[in-house]
Amino acid sequence: MPRASGPVCISVINMKGGVGKTTIAALLARYASRTLGLNVLAVDLDPQANLSQAFMRDGYKRFLRDQAPSIVEIFSGHQPPTSKSAAPSTLDISDIVVSNTPLGGPRLRVIPSRFDFADNLMSSIGANPRVLANVIANNFQDMDIVIIDCAPTESIFTRVAYHASRYVLVPVRPEFFATIGFPLLNDSLDAFRSSNRGHVIDVAGIVINNSSYHYSGNRGGPERERSIGEIGKQAKENGWFIFENQIPFSRGFPKMMRGDFKHTGDADLFSHFASEFFQGLEIQKEGD
Ligand SMILES: Nc1ncnc2c1ncn2[C@@H]1O[C@H](COP(=O)(O)OP(=O)(O)O)[C@@H](O)[C@H]1O
Ligand SMILES: [Mg+2]
């Protein structure tokens, strides 16, 4: 039974690359569907398409080869002529959604991205930043959760993600310059709120993802400690919560993203964070 109030939409954002956005988005989405039994929509808003590749694996190559519709068509609003149809045709959202992926299982759907989903292209066609929010409003009210994986730069996609989101989750790596993007994120959220007064959007919290080369064994180096102190200070200034459960460094994470869940070591501790995250949002399956 879907939630009476519709899905909870969360964007995973940091204006920095390589902090674990895609890993966290994918594993949270997987946890929600496989462990909590929720209906999940995962949206890939990054032209790098790492989230799509993680979920679809070999299916992603097929998807590219078949010129299947993707997030790009959500913005253009139609299906272009292809080798199979000689005219533009109506967009059917169900043709875009990929179900039953190897990583996601039966309750998770993916809206995949494509490499030509470039920001300059979207800006030049004057993409409407509300399109994704509209698509979710009109087609995905039966989901429990929507998780959106974002590109690492502030762009039109950031606004697309904001328009579709109630919450923002911010992964950080405890390293030098970890908080460099925080003021930018804070300003961009404030600017968004002031031009969209009816829209309530909050930072759900910061999650410290220890995928740092300074990390060794169970103890971090001094750089890591300094950085965690700085993250704490800046989070407090912005009124952002920091999740108690950090995500440890583990080679199990890239393995999981390749679909290998055997001998994943400390990466199994991800479930502590995932559990804290969903409990905090009070997302439960209604009727259970
Ligand atoms: N906690 C972690 N431990 C080890 N490796 C990690 C961890 N988190 C992320 N990684 C690895 O770091 C790289 C960047 O992660 P990714 O999720 O793609 O970041 P982003 O989406 O922010 O660019 C990937 O190779 C990923 O497997
Ligand atoms: Mg990514």
As a 3-state breakdown, the chain gives helix, strand, coil percent values, each rounded to 5, of 40, 20, 40
Would you identify the CATH topology of the domain 8-281?
Rossmann fold (3.40.50)
- Contact status, residue 169 vs residue 277, Cβ threshold 8 Å: yes
The predicted pLDDT at position 288 comes to 46
Using CA positions, which residue lies closest to atom 15 of ligand 1?
20
Using CA positions, which residue lies closest to atom 25 of ligand 1?
254
* DSSP helix/strand/coil, 215: strand
The predicted pLDDT at position 4 comes to 72
What average pLDDT values come out for the chain (288 residues) when binned by 10 residues?
82 94 98 96 96 96 92 89 89 95 96 82 76 97 97 90 98 90 94 97 95 53 87 96 95 95 94 96 61
Q: Is residue 105 lining ligand 1, measured as CB closer than 6 Å?
A: no
Q: What is the Cα 283 distance to its own chain's centre?
A: 17
- Contact status, residue 68 vs residue 95, Cβ threshold 8 Å: yes
The predicted pLDDT at position 235 comes to 96
Ordered by start, the domain boundaries in the chain are 8-281
Q: Which atom of ligand 1 is nearest to the CA of 26?
A: 17
> Which residues have C-beta within 8 Å of that of residue 22, sequence separation ≥ 6?
12, 46, 50, 51, 54, 149, 257
For ligand 2, a single-atom ion, the residues with CB < 5 A are 21-22, 50
Q: Is residue 212 lining ligand 1, measured as CB closer than 6 Å?
A: no
Using CA positions, which residue lies closest to atom 14 of ligand 1?
18
The predicted pLDDT at position 212 comes to 55
This model's pTM is above 0.85 = yes
Q: Which of 50, 253, 268 to mutate to test the pocket of ligand 1 (most atoms within 8 A of CB)?
A: 253
Q: Torsions phi, psi of 277, nearest 5?
A: -60, -50
Q: Is residue 211 lining ligand 1, measured as CB closer than 6 Å?
A: yes
Report the distance separating Cα 229 and Cα 143, nearest Å: 38
Q: Is residue 53 lining ligand 1, measured as CB closer than 6 Å?
A: no
What's the 85 CA to ligand 1 centre distance in angstroms?
A: 39
* DSSP helix/strand/coil, 145: strand
Which residue in this structure is represented by tokens 């674990």?
A: 20
DSSP 1-67: ---TT--EEEEE--SSSSSSHHHHHHHHHHIIIIIS---EEEEEE-TT-HHHHHHHTHHHHHHHHTT
What's the 253 CA to ligand 2 centre distance in angstroms?
A: 13
Q: Is residue 224 lining ligand 1, measured as CB closer than 6 Å?
A: no
